[in-house]
A and B are shown apart, each in its own frame.
Chain A
Amino acid sequence: MSLSVTANDEGRRAGFAKRIAGFFRRYPEAFAALLILILCIGVGLLNPAFWQLANLFDILRGSVVRGLFALGVLMVLAAGGLDVSFSAIAALVMYAVTKAVTLFAPDTGMVLIFIMSAVGGALLGAINGVLVNALKAPSLIVTIGTQYAYRGFLLTFIGTALFMNIPPAMDHFGQWSLMSRTAENGFTVQLPGFVLVLAVAALATWAMLRFTLIGRAVYAVGGRPDIAERLGYRVSSVQLFVFAWAGMLAGVAGIIHVSSNRLANPFDLAGIELSVIAAVILGGARITGGSGSVLGTLLGVVLITLVSNVLILIGIPSAWQTAILGLFILSAGVFFVLQKRWS
């Protein structure tokens, strides 16, 4: 009697687990959303200071540069590749554009600066695409190579010194605020205007993946390149396109980094690559390609920014902070593996 009950129970539990696993399989974004929710509630209980507008503004501000990078990585990942050169592209573009504008045309407007950086980034990204096509090498290897090459080029030929006096247009753009609140202790918080750039980039990427032919081609090529080729998709042009797109977003991200930081440091952004890729994966994209969504990616980015922004708030000593971040990513990885096993 009791035996049969246990078996029944187990069967029901297995069914429940299966249903949950199935849900997360269908909506991989939900996992990142769930983690964000748990984290917010946990941190909010430990330190009520978490619940303030300033914190939300800071998380949004902190998500912009990583978010732009992540959208680029999502494109490349969906097409079955991997890109780790975006931080070097951003550093090269931001420093070269800032320096050129300061030296030759200090009154250049922000629109032109953005166009220059987007084109510059797209060209550098296209080099990645051409190399991946020409060498028939794994894109991870190619972009590790170009990452070093771009950064080396920057430090050797363009400059190494910190640049404190950025062009006025960039300075104003970085200071532009959509909303400003002053708390009772005289604390001013602002929602920076450049979060709109991330919103526009996310909408454009989403619409492109969703409604256009090239968007379909990206998933097709990432899922089954052999079949995509037989269906008439040109794999090489798709690859060129995704790397150029990632490069373009990286160039724009670099300019935002400089504008908000009010200085151009060619050593900045190095080492951000893995946290960006982690964000995209946490957002439900498969590292093997053919999947991933813009919404999931943005949630992944917010999650990573959240984790790295709340550790002081809950009083974790600084020596522990990177370790905690690592554990967090690791446990998410374990969840994805378990979820696959359950379903």
Chain B
Amino acid sequence: MRKLATLLGSAAMCALLATPLFAQEGNNSIVTVVKVTGENWFTRMEEGVKAFGEDHKDVTTRQVGPAKADAAQQAAIVQDLIAQGVGAIAIVPMDPSSLEGVLRRAQGRGIKVITHEADSLQNTLVDLEAFDNTAFGAHFNEQLATCMDGKGKWTSFVGSLGSLTHVQWADGGAENAKKHPEMELVSPKNESFNDANRAYTLAKEILRAHPDIKGFQGGSAIDVIGIGRAVEEAGLADKTCVIGLGLPKDTGPYLESGAVDSISFWDPKDAGYVMNILADKVLKGEEITDGMDLGVSGYNKVAVTKGPGEGVIVRGQAWVDVTKDNYKDYPF
């Protein structure tokens, strides 16, 4: 009898202890999960996440992410958030396919899932794309073609072959290059693993294997820095075209020297803000419709299409091209 009482007592204690843990955050909390903490890109995104929280006092927003760009660590963070019982998760997946399972579990627990840069993901309610990725890749390639006079060898870089958007940009670029029969794609989709030094080493090796190469298309935001350094050291800044995703502040020195010709990006601050707008709308049960104005520049008339799963894909027209002349207008 006494034993039973002890057992019941300890069970009650456990329940008491466990409840506050699960109820730590309410249904109005939106947590943004990024690929890696500390990269300038995601630091800028955090500004948007915080701004949304300040503009809307009825929700709490915060941003988390692994210390290393690693899909497994990102999945572990989502597991933690499920245990904490947050209202919505807005995630920028490192490797979308590897997150399907854990995001399905989150949805099963009633957590609203919003994604960014993952239009192949099934277990999401809304996926936000700053633009159509294939069109963005084609846009890079058009810039390259103009710079190269439509002829010569070119190559493409990706952060990793698992980063879907980077691969879509590379493929979109390759598809567009068919319009320019004299452009020849060599050694495509080099993996830089988001490391400038790796991008540098690869670029040098490509320069050696193809000394007459004319164009480089960067994938991860750090690729153009490494490629730019290789091109600059080889004394080829004027003879090659380097174009890709990049951040104005980081790429500034290479834009100045002409090693990098043009960078494009979407403002991660706006993307962070818009992800939270979408999460807020989903939490409040509001419908997201085609042609809607989300109140942020570049997202004034979004295209809404059906996604691969139950959810929808929201696309803006939010890319920005930056060259030597105007990079100083973007202080991040």
A binds B: yes
CB <8 Å contact, A267 and B209: no
Q: A155-B37, A182-B235, A187-B235 are in contact. Are A309 and B191 (CB under 8 A)?
A: no
Q: A161-B40, A164-B249, A267-B38 are in contact. Are A313 and B196 (CB under 8 A)?
A: no
A interface residues (Cβ-Cβ under 8 A, vs B): 47, 49, 52, 54-55, 58, 62, 151-152, 155, 159-162, 164, 182-183, 185-190, 257, 260-263, 265-268, 270, 309-310, 312-313, 315, 318-319, 321
Q: A261-B197, A312-B202 are in contact. Are A188 and B234 (CB under 8 A)?
A: yes
- B116: interface (CB < 8 Å): no
Set of chain A residues within 8 Å of B39, measured between Cβ atoms: 160-162, 267
CB <8 Å contact, B67 and A151: yes
Q: A54-B208, A185-B211 are in contact. Are A261 and B196 (CB under 8 A)?
A: yes
Q: A160-B38, A263-B196, A318-B189 are in contact. Are A312 and B68 (CB under 8 A)?
A: no
Cα A265 to Cα B191 with chains together (Å): 18
Q: Which of A58, A160, A310 has the most CB of B within 10 A?
A: A160
Q: A155-B38, A188-B235, A319-B161 are in contact. Are A49 and B209 (CB under 8 A)?
A: yes
How many residue pairs, one in A and one in B, have C-beta atoms under 8 Å apart?
A: 101
Known: A265-B195, A313-B205. 4 other contacts (CB 8 A): A161-B39, A164-B249, A267-B194, A319-B189
Cα A159 to Cα B206 with chains together (Å): 33
Which residues B179-205 have CB closer than 8 A to chain A? 187-191, 194-197, 200-202, 204-205
Could you pull out 15 A-B pairs where Cβ atoms are within 8 angstroms?
A: A62-B201, A152-B67, A159-B38, A161-B39, A188-B235, A190-B233, A262-B229, A266-B38, A267-B36, A267-B195, A268-B195, A270-B68, A312-B187, A318-B190, A321-B191
A99: min CB distance to chain B, Å: 13
Contact of B253 among A164, A186, A309, A313 (CB under 8 A): A164
Contact of A58 among B43, B204, B222 (CB under 8 A): B204
CB <8 Å contact, B235 and A312: no
- B69: interface (CB < 8 Å): yes
CB <8 Å contact, B208 and A52: yes
A152: min CB distance to chain B, Å: 7
CB <8 Å contact, A185 and B212: yes
- B225: interface (CB < 8 Å): yes
Closest chain B residue to A268 by CB distance? B195
Q: Which of B39, B67, B233, B236 has the most CB of A within 10 A?
A: B67
- B150: interface (CB < 8 Å): no
Q: A160-B37, A188-B233, A261-B200 are in contact. Are A55 and B208 (CB under 8 A)?
A: yes
Q: A152-B67, A164-B249, A164-B250 are in contact. Are A186 and B235 (CB under 8 A)?
A: yes
A235: min CB distance to chain B, Å: 35
Contact of A267 among B43, B68, B205, B234 (CB under 8 A): B68
B269: min CB distance to chain A, Å: 15
Cα A312 to Cα B205 with chains together (Å): 7
Set of chain B residues within 8 Å of A52, measured between Cβ atoms: 208
CB <8 Å contact, B234 and A187: yes
Cα A270 to Cα B229 with chains together (Å): 21
B69: min CB distance to chain A, Å: 7
A179: min CB distance to chain B, Å: 14
A257: min CB distance to chain B, Å: 7
CB <8 Å contact, B205 and A309: yes
Cα A265 to Cα B236 with chains together (Å): 25
CB <8 Å contact, A161 and B208: no
Closest chain A residue to B201 by CB distance? A62
In the A-B complex, list the 4 residue pairs whose CB atoms are closest, starting with the nearest. A160-B38, A188-B235, A312-B205, A313-B209
Set of chain A residues within 8 Å of B189, measured between Cβ atoms: 318-319
Closest chain B residue to A62 by CB distance? B201
CB <8 Å contact, B69 and A267: yes
A318: min CB distance to chain B, Å: 5
Cα A152 to Cα B67 with chains together (Å): 8
Set of chain A residues within 8 Å of B204, measured between Cβ atoms: 58
CB <8 Å contact, B196 and A312: no
Set of chain A residues within 8 Å of B38, measured between Cβ atoms: 155, 159-161, 266-267
B80: min CB distance to chain A, Å: 17
Set of chain A residues within 8 Å of B234, measured between Cβ atoms: 187-189
